[in-house]
Amino acid sequence: MTAQIQQVVTGKQWSEQRKPAAPYLQVNKLWKHYGNFAALKEISLEINEGEFVCFLGPSGCGKTTLLRAIAGLDPQSRGEIFQGGNNISRLPPEQRDFGIVFQSYALFPNLTVADNIAYGLHSQNMSRQRIDMKVRDLLDTIGLPDVAKKYPSQLSGGQQQRIALARALATEPGLLLLDEPLSALDARVRLHLRQEIRNLQRQLGITTIMVTHDQEEALSMADRIVVMNHGVIEQVGTPEEVYRRPINAFVANFVGTMNLLPTKAASNHQVRLGDRVICCLTYKAKEMDSTWLAFRPEVAQLISAGDDKSTLQGDTRQLESFAGTVIHSEFLGNFLRVEVAMQNSDLSIKVDVGTQHANLQCCTPGQNVEVCVPSSDLQVYERYAGSSATNPALIASAGAVS
């Protein structure tokens, strides 16, 4: 979560730059059909120069389709794309200006690292010396100065992906497209490379779009996140915005973990959970009937049933509490994720309990507990019959695909 704080800063920096410049990349009412199936439904999006944008969503949401449409590899059925003020919608990929990195690295196995990086330079009528120099510079930039003569198969996955990055950057494109570049790597390398790509991008100031299904990756790297589902954009915003103020239940559940309790709207600041009326400060009644009551596991606190609530942090008068029984707890390093079955209901709630301070006694299965959530942290979303957001299990499974 430390990365998040960083994001807030860069997000602000970006919004300051934004005002004078026209968007570098503009996607206008883009549709993509495969037969009768619409993979993209009227997507519109603006990306500014130098911005790092992540397309985030479950598999099949259309994020890769959108990326490939921007690249021209898989042209849209309808709609327009502008890059640097030019309409590129009808251009074949060769005539567009981008570099691309794939999950599979796609390095040419029979060419050395240097030849791979220089691959696009030869068609630019560059002198051999300049090419060599450029290749050396790029290798230095990615921190692999000694591998020029090696073949891709002699390098580790992480090294190969850096070479692929260098190759994409060699021709100095205006736009860098990353299609799940980290998904094939193991966890440790992935974390490391995340940082490196971000640094390199900031250093070069190149406009970058990265496709990922890993919300943590998106949160930690992007200036802005575009959350997609079923071919539409659910929300566009800084990582903080997306995490703190998800626009709907889907985003709420896909980005981070969210408890979703089905409720009925009551009045301003109030929803009904079963017979109970729950106070929710952020909620303003709209013309809707079914709602979700939502809160993050980390905002809830856990006490043994009957314990004194005054020991809790925050304004205890503004707390909503839910009684239940611990059914299972998961040790996740610096916190425990405790699952609590709610009394008189088949619903359950997830609560994150810090392992350092909390009374871990109450976290053992079978304990009767109370889950306390500050009213200010409770959020309410619309609940549509039949929409996927009405089925938390489905969202969860979609989000879990990696």
List contacts with another protein (CB under 8 A).
33-35, 39, 64-65, 68, 71-77, 89-96, 98-100, 102, 104-106, 108-111, 119-120, 122-124, 151-154, 167-168, 170-171, 173, 177
Please report where in the chains the tokens 């003569």 appear, as a residue: 149
Q: How far is the CB of 106 from another protein (least distance, A)?
A: 4
| Identity at 160, one-letter amino acid code | Q
Q: How far is the CB of 30 from another protein (least distance, A)?
A: 12
- Dihedral Cα 163, 167, 170, 174, nearest 10 deg: -110
Structure tokens at 240: 């903080």
Least Cα distance to 99 among 208, 176, 200, 209 occurs for: 176
Closest CB to another protein among 135 and 373?
135
Cβ proximity of 46 and 203 under 8 Å: no
Euclidean distance between CA atoms 108 and 292, whole angstroms: 50
Closest CB to another protein among 120 and 314?
120
Longest dimension (CA), the chain: 79
Q: How far is the CB of 50 from another protein (least distance, A)?
A: 20
Closest CB to another protein among 78 and 284?
78
Euclidean distance between CA atoms 390 and 136, whole angstroms: 54
Question: Which DSSP helix (H) or strand (E) runs through 239?
Answer: helix 239-244
Q: How far is the CB of 132 from another protein (least distance, A)?
A: 17
Beta bridge partners of 134: none
Closest CB to another protein among 71 and 380?
71
Closest CB to another protein among 89 and 259?
89
Least Cα distance to 166 among 195, 123, 200 occurs for: 200
Euclidean distance between CA atoms 174 and 208, whole angstroms: 9
Euclidean distance between CA atoms 182 and 187, whole angstroms: 9
Closest CB to another protein among 39 and 242?
39
Q: How far is the CB of 103 from another protein (least distance, A)?
A: 9
Q: How far is the CB of 81 from another protein (least distance, A)?
A: 11
Closest CB to another protein among 111 and 358?
111
Closest CB to another protein among 72 and 246?
72
Q: How far is the CB of 182 from another protein (least distance, A)?
A: 16
Q: What is the CA radius of gyration of the chain?
A: 24
Cβ proximity of 234 and 228 under 8 Å: yes
Q: How far is the CB of 40 from another protein (least distance, A)?
A: 12
Euclidean distance between CA atoms 177 and 185, whole angstroms: 18
